[in-house]
């Protein structure tokens, strides 16, 4: 005979608020400790979404399955990048070496212009006054060391090839078995919230896919416009400078300044007038991109508030360094979606249309 005490439903153990708080603190501490791994995983997720998009296109057009489509998309991307490097790599390499070698000469041009202009003489007097009051100053010989720092940073970036290989490998595995990883993550969510979590996860994937598509189109157009404009102005190294402008445009607001500085410095080697023309070219391109191109792209991609974008760059850059700056925009996009769906709609109960 069955014991009624054993057959009765057992009460479910629910963690108390102290246990929940401790668990949350442990999760935050682990996330901070493994922030580099989490950022690499987030970057792999972005690449996996792109590979799945390519596989979906092949599935619609040619009826190819998703797993073969993912592999074909990865191979096509590698071949495309390899072909570009093989075709334009030697030219870009020569131009880049010429660009790095010309930066010290450009700095000398800046110093000569400052010493001859009234503004430069005023700044020089102010620096001398401050150095005499403070008992020291910045040696003139240390200023060109900035260029050595830049080249050292670039060497460090290129030295991270192993991380790139690891990133791509993880992305391919994620793209091949995306439903399995998605299902495994949802199993960690309580049953009553699982359907909602799945809908939010799908919305995040769609938002990130739209953002990546729009950002890729924007980067290509900026690179082409910058390279063409520099070529029409007769500025050498138009190819590499346009490539830098396109790549750095992945970081809103900050990227154009980063790409514009070496272009203007190099143009100084051909005269102050050329430097002004190049600076105006970058200003015009960024105004057209920010006020015309991006609004059109954002109609089909992700519309992010500019003020929050700048704050996200500062915040994630301060927390995670260069990787945080590069991934600041997609991280902000994820944060906005989670705050809207989980806090505003589920916690506050505000389900008004966005």
Q: Is residue 8 part of a domain?
A: no
CA distance 51 to 167: 13
What interhelical angle do 191-233 and 272-288 show, nearest 10?
Answer: 150
Q: Is residue 2 part of a domain?
A: no
Q: Measuring CA to CA, how many Å separate 183 from each of 100, 201, 202, 346?
A: 49, 11, 12, 22
Q: Is residue 353 part of a domain?
A: no
What's the pLDDT score for residue 329?
A: 87
Q: Is residue 262 part of a domain?
A: yes
Q: Is residue 327 part of a domain?
A: yes
Q: Is residue 91 part of a domain?
A: yes
What's the pLDDT score for residue 151?
A: 53
Task: Supply the range of the domain harboring residue 41.
Answer: 37-127+139-347
Q: Where are the alpha helices (DSSP H) in 117-160?
A: 118-134, 145-158
What's the pLDDT score for residue 146?
A: 47
Q: Is residue 162 part of a domain?
A: yes
CA distance 38 to 328: 14
pTM of the model: 0.70
The rounded average pLDDT for each run of 10 residues, N- to C-terminus, in the chain (354 residues) is: 52 61 75 81 91 89 87 88 69 66 69 66 61 48 49 54 83 91 90 91 91 86 90 81 84 77 77 84 86 73 76 86 85 91 86 68
What's the pLDDT score for residue 137?
A: 47
Query: In the chain, how many domains are there?
Result: 1
What's the pLDDT score for residue 35?
A: 80
Q: Is residue 31 part of a domain?
A: no
CB within 8 Å of 320: residues ≥ 6 apart: 35, 36, 39, 327
What's the pLDDT score for residue 201?
A: 93
């Amino acid at each position: 005979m069955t014991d009624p005490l054993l057959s009765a439903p057992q009460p479910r153990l629910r963690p108390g608020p102290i246990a929940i708080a401790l668990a949350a603190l442990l999760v935050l501490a682990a996330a901070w400790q493994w922030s580099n791994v989490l950022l690499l995983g987030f970057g792999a997720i972005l690449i996996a979404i792109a590979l799945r998009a390519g596989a979906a296109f092949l599935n619609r057009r040619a009826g190819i399955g998703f797993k073969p489509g993912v592999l074909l998309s990865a191979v096509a991307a590698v071949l495309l990048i390899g072909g570009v490097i093989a075709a334009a790599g030697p030219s870009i390499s020569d131009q880049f070496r010429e660009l790095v070698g010309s930066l010290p000469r450009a700095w000398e041009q800046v110093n000569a212009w400052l010493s001859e202009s009234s503004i430069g003489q005023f700044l020089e007097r102010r620096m001398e006054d401050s150095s005499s009051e403070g008992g020291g100053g910045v040696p003139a010989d240390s200023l060109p060391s900035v260029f050595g720092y830049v080249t050292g940073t670039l060497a460090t970036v290129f030295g991270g090839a192993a991380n790139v290989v690891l990133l791509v490998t993880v992305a391919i595995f994620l793209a091949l078995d995306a439903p399995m990883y998605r299902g495994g993550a949802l199993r960690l969510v309580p049953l009553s919230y699982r359907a909602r979590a799945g809908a939010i996860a799908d919305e995040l994937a769609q938002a990130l896919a739209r953002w990546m598509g729009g950002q890729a189109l924007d980067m290509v157009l900026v690179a082409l416009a910058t390279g063409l404009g520099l070529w029409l102005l007769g500025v050498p190294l138009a190819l590499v400078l346009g490539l830098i402008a396109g790549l750095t445009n992945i970081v809103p607001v900050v990227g154009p300044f980063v790409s514009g500085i070496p272009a203007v410095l190099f143009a100084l080697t051909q005269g102050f007038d050329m430097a002004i023309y190049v600076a105006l070219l970058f200003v015009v391109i960024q105004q057209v991109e920010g006020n015309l191109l991006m609004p059109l792209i954002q109609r089909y991609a992700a519309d992010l508030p500019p003020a929050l974008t700048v704050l996200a760059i500062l915040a994630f850059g301060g927390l995670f360094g260069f990787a945080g700056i590069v991934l600041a925009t997609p991280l902000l996009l994820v944060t906005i979606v989670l705050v809207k769906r989980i806090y505003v709609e589920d916690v506050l109960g505000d389900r008004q249309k966005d």
